[in-house]
Amino acid sequence: MPAAAFFKYINNKRFLFGAVIIFIIPFIFFSFWNFPAADDYMIIDQRSQFSFWQLQNEIYHNWTGRYFATFTSSLFSYSGFLYSHYYLHAVLLLLLTIFSWLFCLIQINRHLLNKALSFSSLALLSMLLLILEINIIPEPVTAFYWFSSAVTYQLPLIILISLTGVIINSFFNLHNKIIRFIIASLLIIMLNGCNEIITLFVLINATCLLVYFLFNHKKLPLFISVFFLINTVSACFMLFAPGIASRSSLFAHSSVLSAAGIAFIKFLIFNWYFLKEPLWWFFLFWLIIFLTGNKNNLSRIFKNLSKPSVSNILAFYIGSNLLVYIPVLYVTNGSVPLRAENIICFLNSLLLLFVIAAFIPYKTDIKLTYLSIIYKYRFLILSIVIFSTANMKKITDSLLSGYFYSLVMKERLSLFENAKQLNIHNLTFDEYATAAGKKLKAYPVADRQIIKDIIVKPPPLICFGSDVNDMNYIKELYGIKNLYLQK
């Protein structure tokens, strides 16, 4: 095949679709090799003490204000449904992330871009945004595969993306406004009931945008004012919950100054998470090209973006993030887990992506000829770049070790079940490397040292933490007093 024909064959949307599907398929496999851990067992452990609604009240008043995350966790866990269908939440979250992006992008394309993109392009872009998230967030395992974390941090991202689409639709569509108002209000209430970081992020950024809008237009549409009021009230319901006060009393509070210092360091670190990724930079180049070619359709947006200076935008970007981090770091004495930073990292990567891409075409007389080579081979470049990430080693390691991880975990759960039935309170099982090594012996073709070194470790995109990751709740559930590991 001639080189020109070969490049034409691999540099098209269909080829990129194939590359995207190949990238996503392993994450579906991981869902079926996944097992509960740590806090996943908390609700099922406590169902003998509380009814469904008593449990909501107990957690809200004594542990956390995350009323919607708690409700969702209880809904899946209380009946035991989650534990017999543990693959389901990861599959749903992956699909819902794609569909929420598709819904939001359809609204943007219809109302802001004059239908410049085809449906297939929007579907492809939705999947690419999922891949972008997976590649740049600090801890993909807790975003999708650990249920307790996923409903707290990934679910609100899905809600926020869907909410953005509903609000855009409400601006331009005069029909069925009441229905959209009800849907948006419910999404706001659900969003603010998931975790403190996203609540602060939305509240601070919504307040800044509201002030900016008022400064330039002197008045607000009624439905935006009502949305902001609902957002503020539901945010207070979360942030001032008795459970948060009770939980924060367990931590020794740091000083505001030290919290600010740690917040700035964390701000630099989560920016590095996406600035180091080639895929983020390719998204930036592609967006610059697209916006430059659609200046006429986007003239109103460009006009609004031209008013603040670059220094003002940068000050807002840094300041808003510090305002999110400082209260959390102050209350928790500087402790914020990586899973809590996933959503902030991804949202800020998108915010910076759009601001830079929108400023460059408007502030400079950029010539598309300089970037035409990137645009010409965009499908081929993207097909390569999505696999050019530090996560690829984690993906390949998890593909090799995931099946053996599921075998080991099934055996351990069987031991717990047998101990409960026999009323045994002391349990011993092999440490993970030993247990996985024993399973590997049944597959001689894979029993090679280079492969064995990977398989005897838990898969990094499915399992997080140590060999026995916080077994307190599962020990209590099965009546185990002492748990021993043997080499």
Per-residue pLDDT reduced to its tens digit, 130-184? 999 999 999 999 999 999 899 999 999 999 999 999 998 888 877 778 888 899 9
In a domain, 227, yes or no: yes
Is the model more confident about 404 or about 373? 404
pLDDT exceeds cutoff 80 at 5 = no
pLDDT exceeds cutoff 80 at 196 = yes
pLDDT exceeds cutoff 70 at 467 = no
Same domain, 141 and 231: yes
Same domain, 300 and 174: yes
In a domain, 6, yes or no: no
Identify whether the C-beta of residue 147 lies closer than 8 Å to the C-beta of residue 89: yes
Same domain, 254 and 220: yes
- Domain assignment of residue 476, given as a range: 394-486
Integer CA distances (angstroms), 326 to 244, 255, 405, 413, in order: 16, 10, 39, 41
Domain limit, last residue, from 331, 356, 389:
389
64: tokens are 């956390």
- For the question of whether the overall pTM of this predicted structure is more than 0.85, the answer is yes
In a domain, 5, yes or no: no
Same domain, 328 and 436: no
Same domain, 426 and 303: no
Res 484: pLDDT = 79
Same domain, 368 and 455: no
Q: What is the mean pLDDT of residues 16-33?
A: 93
Tell me the per-residue pLDDT of 36-73, one tens digit each, with 9 for 90 and over. 887 788 777 777 778 888 888 888 888 888 999 989 98
Domain limit, last residue, from 335, 361, 389:
389
Tell me the per-residue pLDDT of 239-298, one tens digit each, with 9 for 90 and over. 888 888 777 766 666 677 888 888 888 888 888 989 988 899 988 888 888 777 766 666
In a domain, 184, yes or no: yes
DSSP string for 61-82: HHT---HHHHHHHHHHHTTSHH
Same domain, 415 and 446: yes
Res 165: pLDDT = 94
Q: What is the mean pLDDT of residues 451-480?
A: 79
User: In whole angstroms, what is the distance from residue 380 CA to residue 378 CA?
Assistant: 6
Q: For the chain, what is the mean pLDDT? A: 84
User: In whole angstroms, what is the distance from residue 106 CA to residue 99 CA?
Assistant: 10
Provide the number of structural domains found in the chain.
Answer: 2
Res 419: pLDDT = 87
First-residue to last-residue Cα distance in the chain = 56
DSSP string for 249-278: TTS----HHHHHHHHHHHHHHHHHHHHT-H
In a domain, 49, yes or no: yes
Same domain, 377 and 480: no
In a domain, 7, yes or no: no
Task: Look at the alpha carbons of 29, 30, 36, 40 in this order and tell me if their dihedral is positive or negative.
Answer: negative
User: In whole angstroms, what is the distance from residue 350 CA to residue 18 CA?
Assistant: 25
Q: What is the mean pLDDT of residues 202-216?
A: 82
Same domain, 217 and 81: yes
Same domain, 99 and 193: yes
Percent of the chain with pLDDT over 70: 89
Confidence band (pLDDT; 50, 70, 90) for 122?
A: very high
Res 270: pLDDT = 85
Confidence band (pLDDT; 50, 70, 90) for 116?
A: confident
Same domain, 321 and 446: no
Tell me the per-residue pLDDT of 381-436, one tens digit each, with 9 for 90 and over. 888 899 988 788 899 999 998 999 999 999 988 988 888 888 888 888 888 888 88
Same domain, 344 and 421: no
Domain limit, last residue, from 389, 423, 449:
389
In a domain, 2, yes or no: no
In a domain, 358, yes or no: yes
Q: 427 has which bridge partners?
A: 483
How crowded is residue 42: how many other Cβ atoms within 10 Å of its Cβ? Answer: 20
